[in-house]
Structure 1
Amino acid sequence: MSKTQGDDVVDGRRLRSERSRLAIVEAALALQEEGVLVPTAQQVSDRAGVGIRSFFRHFEDMETLFEVADGHIRDSYEALFLGGDRNGTLDERIEHAVERHGDAYESVSNMVLGTQAQLWRYEALRKNYARNQRGLRKDLDDWIPELKSVPRDTREAVDAIASFEMWHRLRYHQGLSKSSSIAILKGLLKNLIIDA
């Protein structure tokens, strides 16, 4: 075998390995999106069409997989919260922020629930979740600069009201429509910020 043929074999193996690794990441994400909030290595392997040994050649454990998966989709889920018309009255900006966050929460609901279910288990997920919470807080500051001058208790209440947990409670546990949930959150935030 010539050097060129040997290089081609190595490149071919590397490409197959990268394809398998990507298939595993995408399988884990697809399972979570479909409602398998805490997929097992076997479920992910089966979905990706690879053997369990191949899974563990690519990923030391599930925590490593979840960390890589988060990096794989971080830009796309963070983009869901960015943008939007951030001008207008306080009332308009609160409404637009709640709508934007509500749409984003709807898109990432199963991913967040899967993460929350495993926070106790994986340090990487705790770090990612904390980073995301800081990002959401900063995003609210961008929408509503008035928050920088409210008392600390008010600000903490704002973050709680604008959280995924509050959105999920209204939509899932209380069975409210999207428009009703937006109206409730907008009213709560407006009252808090104006009264501060």
Structure 2
Amino acid sequence: MTDKSRLSVVASNPPDRDGRKARSERSRLQIVDALFALIQDGEMEPSAASVAEQAGVGLRTVFRHFEDMDGLYREMTERLEAEILPIVMTPWQSSEWHDRLRELVARRAGIYERILPLKVASNLRRFSSPHLMNAYRRFLTMERAGLMGILPDDIKADETLLGALEMLTGFQAWRRMRQDQELSAEAAEAVILRTVEALLKDR
């Protein structure tokens, strides 16, 4: 590269502009991390001011990066989806459907425990947010598809049994046991597994 071409590259990407871009990206990440932290600490509907304070930035900075709180929640749900998708897509260790169902229960226990407060917080806002409602429906579709991909045809054809299994292995059952019944994560997983096995004892 000639000295002239080097000067051209530097001119098109001046260090101060690159520095501003990096600082802006760090600030954006801090804001999203702040939302995560507040919700995980039990604040289910944090305000923009609370997020700004937690992130150590001004309120104007929050809205410079995100048009509104819905945009911030959108970023949160996208990050969660990106985090859990590789877990969901991990190949099953077993080839037998009973064992795969046990794997599914264990896998979902880990996922649900990770996302519990964040999912509850987004569910509180989904009725006023088309994006969060769409994310909620995508999650339900993913749950159902994961279960249907394991079960044999005779169980999928049994509407009552399928409905019971879908409800039992879904997020809402986990939320109820962990929050309403105040079971430990280990106890909640044991309840699900025991009930699943009871439902399928003759299968």
TM-score tier after normalising by the smaller chain length: 0.7 to 0.9
Matched, 1:37 2:44: yes
Q: 2:147 aligns to what?
A: 140
Matched, 1:186 2:182: no
Maintained 8 Å contact 2:31/2:62 = yes
Distance 1:167 1:73, change over 3 A: closer
Percent of aligned pairs with the same amino acid: 28
Q: What is the Cα deviation at residue 5 of structure 1?
A: 9.0
How many Å separate the matches in 2 of 1:70 and 1:145?
32
Matched, 1:61 2:71: no
Q: What is the Cα deviation at residue 130 of structure 1?
A: 0.9
Q: What is the aligned length?
A: 195
How many Å separate the matches in 1 of 2:104 and 2:76?
27
Maintained 8 Å contact 1:95/1:182 = no
Which deviates more from structure 2 when the two are superposed, residues 174-183 or residues 35-44? 174-183
Which deviates more from structure 2 when the two are superposed, residues 53-62 or residues 86-95? 86-95
Give the match's secondary structure for 2:46: coil
Q: 1:47 aligns to what?
A: 54
Q: What is the Cα deviation at residue 89 of structure 1?
A: 4.4
How many Å separate the matches in 1 of 2:166 and 2:154?
10
Q: Amino acid of the residue matched to residue 189 of structure 1?
A: V
TM-score when normalising by structure 1: 0.83
Q: Amino acid of the residue matched to residue 53 of structure 1?
A: R
Q: What is the Cα deviation at residue 181 of structure 1?
A: 2.7
Give the match's secondary structure for 2:127: coil
How many Å separate the matches in 1 of 2:186 and 2:53?
39
Q: Amino acid of the residue matched to residue 71 of structure 1?
A: E
Q: What is the Cα deviation at residue 185 of structure 1?
A: 1.9
Distance 1:146 1:170, change over 3 A: farther
Maintained 8 Å contact 1:141/1:147 = no
Matched, 1:92 2:95: no
How many Å separate the matches in 2 of 1:121 and 1:189?
35
Q: Deviations over 1:142-175 (max 9, x none)?
A: 3434577323343232211111111222233223
Q: Which has the higher contact order (CA 8 A, sep 6+)?
A: 1
RMSD: 2.8
Q: Amino acid of the residue matched to residue 7 of structure 1?
A: P
Q: Amino acid of the residue matched to residue 182 of structure 1?
A: E
Structure index of larger Rg: 2
Distance 1:191 1:76, change over 3 A: same
Q: What is the Cα deviation at residue 15 of structure 1?
A: 2.3
Q: Which residues of structure 1 form unaligned runs of 5+? A: none
Which deviates more from structure 2 when the two are superposed, residues 135-144 or residues 51-60? 135-144
Q: What is the Cα deviation at residue 193 of structure 1?
A: 4.8
Q: What is the Cα deviation at residue 83 of structure 1?
A: 2.8
Maintained 8 Å contact 1:150/1:193 = no
